[in-house]
Structures are given as C-alpha cells and as structure tokens.
Chains A and B, each alone.
Chain A
Amino acid sequence: MAAFILRRLAQSILVMLVVSLVAFYMFQFLGDPINQMVGIDTPLAEREALRERLGLNDPMIIRFGKFVLNAAQLDFGLSYQHKQPVVDLLMERMPATIELSFVSAIIAFFLALPAGVYTGLYRNRWSSKALLTLSLVGISIPTFLIGILFIYLFAVILGWLPSFGRGEVITLPGGWTTGLLTVSGLKAIILPATTLGLFTLTLIMRLIRAEMLEVLRTDYIKFARARGLTNRAVNFGHALKNTLVPVITVTGLLLGNLIAFAIITESVFQWPGMGRLFLQAIQEVDLPVMSAYLVMISFLFVVINLIVDILYYVVDPRLRVEKSGGGH
C-alpha cells in the first residue's frame, strides 16, 4: 500500500513541477513585471536596480527554484490588475468554486448511477434508448446555453430562482464562506450546480452503461448466472461492483474537470468564484493570477487523483493483496 501511494505521490509531484514550469515560462515570455510595476517615465537605471533587487537577472534555474519555493508558500506576487496579493484574491473566491463543483458532482453522480445501470441492464428497452438519446442531447447542448435557458425559464419567466450570485453567505471560522446554510444561498446554487453537473452527468451515465455492458459479457457474470444466483445478486452484487472499478477513476477525473468547467458556469451566473477571476485574468493578460490559478487547480487535481487512487485500492483486491501461495 505504502509503495503504491508513494509511487503515485511521486507522479503527482512530477505533474505539479511540469505545471509550475509552464506557469513560470509564461512569465518569461509574456510580460516584463517591471513594466507592470513602474510608470512609463521611470528612468532605465531605476528599472535596472529594481530588476536586480527582485532577482530578475539571476540564472533561469535559480529563478525557477524561487518560483517553486514561493508557490509552495502560496506566494504568487501581486495581481497586475487588482494590485492585491494573488493568493488573497484566489482564497477569497475558492469556497464559492469548491461548493459549486461539489454540489454539481453530487447531483451528477447520484443521477448518473441509476440511469447508467438501468440503460446498461436493459439496453434493448425503448426507455433505455430514449434515455441514451436524451443524454446525447445533453452532451450536445453547450453548458453556457443550458445556463442561459435555465435563467430565462426559471429566473426571467417563472421568477422562482435567482439568476446570479451566491445569495446570502455565512463566514465559518477559518474564513471559509458558505452559501449552503442559508435559504437564499441554497436557492442560488440550484441553477448553476445543475447547469454545471449536466454535462458530467451524461458522461458518467454513458460510461457506466458502457462498462456495465462490458462486464455483463464476461465469463464470471455468465458463471454467476449459471450458479443460479438471483438477478439482483448478479446485477448489483457482481456486475455493478466490477463496473465501479474503472468508473471511479474517470469520475475522479471528471470531478477535476468540474472545477475547471466552473469557469463557464460562473461566467453565466456571475458566480463569485475562481473561474471568473481566471477568465478576467486571461482577457487582461494578468499573468500572476493566470499562473496561480493554474498551479492551484493542478494541486486540486492532484489531491483528487490521490483520493481516487486510494479508493481504487480499497475496491480492487488485486492491488491490495500481495501474491501468496497457490503458485504453479
């Protein structure tokens, strides 16, 4: 177990380093931070002095080292646009994004599971085919369009739910803000979370169906039937559990995707999260924010992947138990 986790950890660190390198190089090629910090009329000598003081004349490898070290301490410098520490900007918005992604992940997974199992088990029923075609429609309508339609229907025409913002937010000890404890907060999250989750829902559903079909063809399922086990035991005890092994991995990946796809949803619903900050940063070429977002989000991915790996380990005994006895 330890070796397995360690190997995964090493891979994760590699991923983080690669991402940091990309983030670092963005600075190298794109902007001169000095231009951002001083006025146009600042004399050249003064610029040079500032450059030397900030260590911008050091060799590349040392500067990259510093960048990584700073990033590890959550120091990404000042935002060009907001003139504030980037980390403060991100931290302020992170709870909104995490809450949104989390709620949509729950919506997506718990609707996708029964739908996927159903369409897998009863692939020839017309209801399965209808559900499958419907899921294709879900994949084909872009997230932002669904958001717009939701807003038009539920906010503009019916007036049931708010069309933007997080509603009333409570600050928990530790500085985490949550909208999940107030009525207006809960009402506000329904539309964006559903919008964000719909795409993932269809993907997971189709994945579960495909895996289910694959597993139902295997010998051990046929053998389970030949042993006279009940349909319930075969379908849910045997088939579903084997289906979940690959599904867990992809679901983990998709969870990471949700955080990134939140960019779109946040933009439609004016949700005060990290995604909107990133989008503005791209439009304004606010490099510190861009690179910090990148590093942060890859860190979140790495954490999610690690959790997925551990889950995988728990579910699949082939990874868990070391080989013993029974050799030829």
Chain B
Amino acid sequence: MTDTTSPKAATRPSLLYRIWDHELCYSFRKSHLTVGAAVVTLILILAAVFANIIAPHNPFDTASIDLMDSELPPAWTVDGDQRFLLGTDNLGRDIYSTILYGMRISLLVGFASVILSAVIGIAAGLIAGYVGGKVDAVIMRIADIQLSFPTILIALLIDGISRGILDRELHDAMIIPVLVLSIGISNWVQYARTVRGSTLVERNKEYVQAARVIGLHPILIMIRHVLPNVMGPVLVIATLGLAFAILTEATLSFLGVGMPPTQPSLGTLIRIGNDYLFSGLWWISIFPGATLAILVLAVNLLGDWLRDALNPKLR
C-alpha cells in the first residue's frame, strides 16, 4: 500500500491546517468558479456596506443633485462627464453611487428576509416534527398549499394587503419591513420541511426521553441536537434563498410595488431606466441590471457548490 504512515504516530496537525485540508475546503479550493463567486460576493457586500465611503456622490442628498446633470451617458462616451463614471439618471443622480446605495437596500432586504424565513421555517418544522398529530398535519398542509402558489404571488398579495391596512405615506415609510415580511413569509416552507424531517428522526431517540426525566423541556434539548444536524441543508437553502430573495425584491420594485424611486433599490433603478430605454438612455437600467445579475449569480454559484459539496452521494 502507498499509505505507510500510521495516523497515531503522526503529530496532530494545526487547526488551520485541518480546516484547509477538510473535504469541504478542498472542494472549494478546487473549484475556481466557486472561489471567483466567493470573491465577487465578498467585494459586492463590502461595497454595499461601505457605500457611504466609496460612493463619490450621495444620491439621497437633494442639495448635491443638479437637474442640469441629468441623463448624462457614461464617462467614457463622447458626451460623458468625468464626474459620473456610469452616467446619471433622469434626476441627475450618479448611477454608480446610486447602484452602491441600491445594492445596500437589496442586500439588507435579502438577508433580513432570509433570516425571517429561516426562523419561521425552523420553528414550524421543530413544532410540527416534535408535537406531531394534528398540529403537524395543519402546519404541513399549510406548507403544501403555500408551496403550490408561486412566491411572487404571495409576496405581491402580502404587499397588497399591507397597502390596504397602512395609508400611502406610512406604507412608503415602512416599505423595507413590509418587503422583508412579504418575502420572508413566502419562503419558509423549505426550511420547515427539512427541519421537520430531521426532528422526526431525533424525536424518539433516548436523550429526548432522558431530558424529560431530568426536567428539561424536550424542545430545548431538541433544538440543541436537531439544529446541528440540519445546519448543512439549512445553509444550502439559505444561500440559494438569499439569491432568490434579492431577485424577488428586485422584481417587486421593478413592478412598482417595492422600493419607491426616492429610495431606489437595484430593481427600482431598472424600472426607472426602462422608461428611458427607447430614448436610447440604456445606461440607467443596464448597469444596475448587470450588478443585480452578477450579485445573484455569484450567490447562486456559492449555493450550488455548497449543495453539491454537502451531498455525499455526488462525491
């Protein structure tokens, strides 16, 4: 045999080396596409977080915006202005800066709604799996029904209802929580299904019974034991879910039921640009569109890789 070193004789490698040598890390290193996606994601997230430092202009500062600067093409074209790298929109806002700030909103809504979905889904899955019986049946039936409706429809509906409850100004002020709520609620089902499956397996194990004997609430114990088991699948769902949430937010904003033009996300920018596309002002929608596509693609690539890497059958 080629392998002659006894594992016991060798000194224990450092933690850093063990992480580096881990199966998951190895498959990550080996896939250049995934490494690229991770780098791009990281750069975009950092750019969004530090938008106020990086951006040359503040698109929300009405004092600094000059209508005279409106509809300028990108800097490298004939009519371009050096101050505005990617051109300006119809109000004279710098596209580059607006993209950075818009991405901030897109990512904020994306992350927040993924967290909301995960919390609702994990809780529902734990309860359904642990309590069982009628509670389980009701939760899973709701999940089934919701699953047969496209998320975009549910998100639109929740947004529509919120418009009915809140008046217009309040709705515009509350738009970010409303979006998080609509996208979050429409995506919990997958988490619930995964967690429920794992909970059903754990429920009858001895430690759950033992916990009851020593007076601990079994649910607490289950959370401690079930969650580590479902971390992998939940992480995969969350990563792909982030891409999907960003897309949904952009879609809602594009349809005019998301972020308002005064506080534009990437979707809103594309919507604004769409009206000017026929006049040849392509840069207003194309640059935010490309940013959105690259961001979502990078996150999707990461999620896709993670799913394959955590699936032992595909090794």
Chains A and B directly touch (beta carbon < 8 Å): yes
Using CB atoms and an 8 Å cutoff, list the residues of chain A in contact with chain B: 15, 18-19, 22, 26, 29-31, 133, 136-137, 139-145, 148-149, 151-152, 156, 213, 217, 253, 256-257, 260-261, 263-264, 267-268, 278-279, 281-283, 285, 287, 290, 294, 297-298, 301, 305
Q: How far is the CA of A91 from the CA of B293 in the complex (A)?
A: 36
B313 A217 Cβ-Cβ under 8 A: yes
Q: Point out the residues of chain B lying under 8 angstroms from A143, CB to CB.
A: 251
B149 A260 Cβ-Cβ under 8 A: yes
Partner of B165, one of A30, A253, A261, A290: A30
Q: Point out the residues of chain B lying under 8 angstroms from A156, CB to CB.
A: 277-278
B160 A282 Cβ-Cβ under 8 A: yes
Q: How far is the CA of A4 from the CA of B242 in the complex (A)?
A: 38
Using CB atoms and an 8 Å cutoff, list the residues of chain B in contact with chain A: 33, 145, 147-150, 152-153, 156-157, 159-161, 163-165, 243, 247, 250-251, 254-257, 267, 270, 274, 277-278, 282, 285, 289, 292-293, 296-297, 300-301, 304, 313-314
Partner of B150, one of A18, A151, A217, A260: A260
A142 B250 Cβ-Cβ under 8 A: yes
Q: Point out the residues of chain B lying under 8 angstroms from A263, CB to CB.
A: 152-153, 156, 255
B148 A301 Cβ-Cβ under 8 A: yes
Q: Point out the residues of chain B lying under 8 angstroms from A267, CB to CB.
A: 254-255
Q: How far is the CA of A152 from the CA of B257 in the complex (A)?
A: 24
B153 A264 Cβ-Cβ under 8 A: no
A282 B251 Cβ-Cβ under 8 A: no
Q: Point out the residues of chain A lying under 8 angstroms from B152, CB to CB.
A: 260-261, 263-264
- Given A136-B300, A137-B297, A140-B296 in contact, is the A15-B148 Cβ separation under 8 Å? yes
In whole Å, how far is B153's beta carbon from the nearest beta carbon of chain A? Answer: 4
The 16 sampled A-B contact pairs (Cβ below 8 Å) are A15-B148, A19-B145, A26-B164, A29-B164, A31-B164, A136-B300, A140-B243, A140-B247, A141-B293, A144-B255, A148-B270, A152-B277, A213-B314, A260-B150, A263-B152, A290-B160
In whole Å, how far is B300's beta carbon from the nearest beta carbon of chain A? Answer: 5
In whole Å, how far is A292's beta carbon from the nearest beta carbon of chain B? Answer: 13
Partner of B301, one of A136, A213, A257: A136
Q: Point out the residues of chain A lying under 8 angstroms from B147, CB to CB.
A: 253
Q: How far is the CA of A139 from the CA of B165 in the complex (A)?
A: 34
Closest to A281 in B: B160
Q: How far is the CA of A141 from the CA of B300 in the complex (A)?
A: 11
